[in-house]
Amino acid sequence: MPLHLPEGKRLAVSLSPDFDAQSVWLGTFRSTSQSLMSRGEFGALVGAPRLLEVFRRYGITTTWCVPTHTIQTFRSSVDAIVESGHEIGAHGVYHEYVPALERDEERRLLELQIRQHEQLLGRRPRGYRSPALDVTDNTLDLLEEFGFDWDSSLMGRDFEPYRPRMVVEVSQEEGNTFGPESRVLEFPVSWFLDDFPELESFKGSPLMQSNETVLARWIDSFNFAYERCPGGAMTWTLHPQTIGRAHNLLMLERFLDHVTSFEGVWFPTLSELFDCWHDEGSPAPTGISTTSKPAKLERTAP
Ligand SMILES: [Zn+2]
């Protein structure tokens, strides 16, 4: 795999929050209900600081994917994230429902969010995560056009980054045809490693699960990746308004107690991970290796 983790690191773990706050209700659920707005407010003013504190205690640096609506509505919460040394990635303007966007509107909103990141935070985001993890046929092309290094919205792998391809021709009888590999590097996500559908409560959701069920799934996923995918990377998506609830935060801490008991686990930002990727044929930097041995592998073989 063309991912070259630093010397002594066996597995990269990205606990990457989607800091949607009120925008997820506005853009994905298309509601301005005051009740839902208050849940977004909880995420910004209570959940995010709690999550930052957990990250500080466990020595975790990560990438927060933030709609520009959140930056403008809860500026001090976003400033605290930046001041704590985390990266900010793009995550839409108002958590817009991307699959419904015509190409021109998708381009306009990408252009707008880049401009707002530059104006509000003073830097251009290197990566993008689609709101609600869904894209159009145009998304990868547009991300390339705007010079993004990475995307983290697709699910074509689990524990390794990859160059994603669009399906350009669909045929029920003769099979589908892929287009070329994208220049944008994909850090794959999964609904199974996402707190929102599993732990959040919202109208019509049949999915709310017990913390024990979710914790067991997360630990099994980590154990599998640690043993069988050395040199790989895995990405969780966390939502401050969900994981920041007391019972969920305690579950996260139990998960982190498990993960941090293993040697060679690395918590990079997604852009740091991007910088560890070297396509086949291009020279890897010296002094890096993926051959470190696990210290406690025998205890956790899945
Ligand atoms: Zn989101």
Q: Is residue 112 part of a domain?
A: yes
Q: Is residue 68 part of a domain?
A: yes
Q: State the distance from the centre of ligand 1 to the C-alpha of 173, rounded, in angstroms.
A: 36
Q: State the distance from the centre of ligand 1 to the C-alpha of 175, rounded, in angstroms.
A: 32
Number of domains in the chain: 1
Q: Is residue 231 part of a domain?
A: yes
Tell me the C-alpha distance between 264 and 38, whole Å.
40
C-alpha to C-alpha distances, 6 to 188, 259, 285, nearest whole angstrom:
20, 18, 10
Q: Is residue 109 part of a domain?
A: yes
pLDDT of residue 224: 98
Q: Is residue 6 part of a domain?
A: no
* Encoded tokens for 145: 């056009």
pLDDT of residue 290: 41
Q: For the domain that residue 170 is a member of, what is the CATH number?
A: 3.20.20.370
Q: State the distance from the centre of ligand 1 to the C-alpha of 147, rounded, in angstroms.
A: 21
Q: Is the pTM of this model over 0.85?
A: yes
Q: Is residue 4 part of a domain?
A: no
Q: Is residue 3 part of a domain?
A: no
Q: State the distance from the centre of ligand 1 to the C-alpha of 298, rounded, in angstroms.
A: 37
What separation, in Å, do the N-terminal and C-terminal C-alpha atoms of the chain show? Answer: 23
Phi, psi of 203 (to 5 degrees): -50, 125
Phi, psi of 89 (to 5 degrees): -105, 165
Domain span including residue 248: 11-300
Q: State the distance from the centre of ligand 1 to the C-alpha of 263, rounded, in angstroms.
A: 31
Tell me the C-alpha distance between 53 and 299, whole Å.
29
Q: State the distance from the centre of ligand 1 to the C-alpha of 295, rounded, in angstroms.
A: 36
Q: State the distance from the centre of ligand 1 to the C-alpha of 288, rounded, in angstroms.
A: 34
Q: Is residue 5 part of a domain?
A: no
* Encoded tokens for 155: 């699910």
Q: State the distance from the centre of ligand 1 to the C-alpha of 191, rounded, in angstroms.
A: 12
Q: State the distance from the centre of ligand 1 to the C-alpha of 104, rounded, in angstroms.
A: 22
10-residue stretch averages of pLDDT, the chain, 302 residues long: 94 98 94 95 98 98 98 98 98 97 98 98 98 96 98 97 96 97 97 90 73 96 98 97 97 98 98 94 52 42 38
